[in-house]
Structure 1
Amino acid sequence: MLLNDVVWTRPVTIRLQCGLERTFTGVYDALDFLENEWPLRHGERHERAVKTCSGALNGFVPAVIARDAFMAACLEAGMPAVMAPWKVKPNFHPPGTVRTAAI
């Protein structure tokens, strides 16, 4: 992670056009992808995402706005976000504890 990176509280995982999934943890990774690996160059949401991510790295735009712009650009390009399943904590009872109901 770079010193000037802005990390998102929730990473973004997208499904690339080839079917692979890729996870982005912050604004710098997203901007690098937008500028260097993007499959479409002239989409309206792509341009907005580049400007928004640049603004976030410079401290002018909140990270959550940059994240939303990046996700919108990905959707426009046919690369939807992949929703990670929520991790459910197991219902664990320490050994030796027994729960009984009074009759």
Structure 2
Amino acid sequence: MDTIHFSPVKLAITGQEFRVVRSVQEAWTLLAEQWPMRPGKAHHRALTICTIALQGRAGAEIAREALIGAAAEAGIYLSAGSQPQKDTSNLLRSSLPVPHLIGIGPSCD
């Protein structure tokens, strides 16, 4: 997989552990394997958008905005300049084709 970079996003994973995410692959890994909070709707949306971006079907900045939305939903501090520029809540319903994603989502066993 190619690494698709975007503007860095700084998250406070715990009170003393910060993480800077600089690519769609890093965002996907954090969301899928290392998310410190209970996943919510924005988390699921961000994971799906990152998966689509890694397939070349969505842009890196859309994935970045979705990551920021998931972090905001989880109450994770975002560094200055990392606030979302647009609402990503309707991205999957309105503009992105969503492929069948094995292993992602509440319907998976």
TM-score (norm: length of structure 2): 0.68
Q: Deviations over 1:76-98 (max 9, x none)?
A: 111121126xxxxxxxxxxxxxx
Aligned residues, how many?
81
Give structure 1 stretches of 5+ with no counterpart.
Answer: 85-103
Q: Deviations over 1:41-96 (max 9, x none)?
A: 43000000000001111110111110000011011111121126xxxxxxxxxxxx
Superposition misfits of 4+ residues, deviation over 2 angstroms? 17-20, 39-42
Q: Highest CA radius of gyration, 1 or 2?
A: 1
- Are 2:64 and 1:70 equivalent residues in the alignment? no
Q: Deviations over 1:16-60 (max 9, x none)?
A: 233322101100001101011112343000000000001111110
Cα distance in 2 for partners of 1:41, 1:5 equals 27
Over the aligned positions, Cα root-mean-square deviation in angstroms equals 1.5
- Are 2:27 and 1:48 equivalent residues in the alignment? no
Percent of aligned pairs sharing the same letter: 32
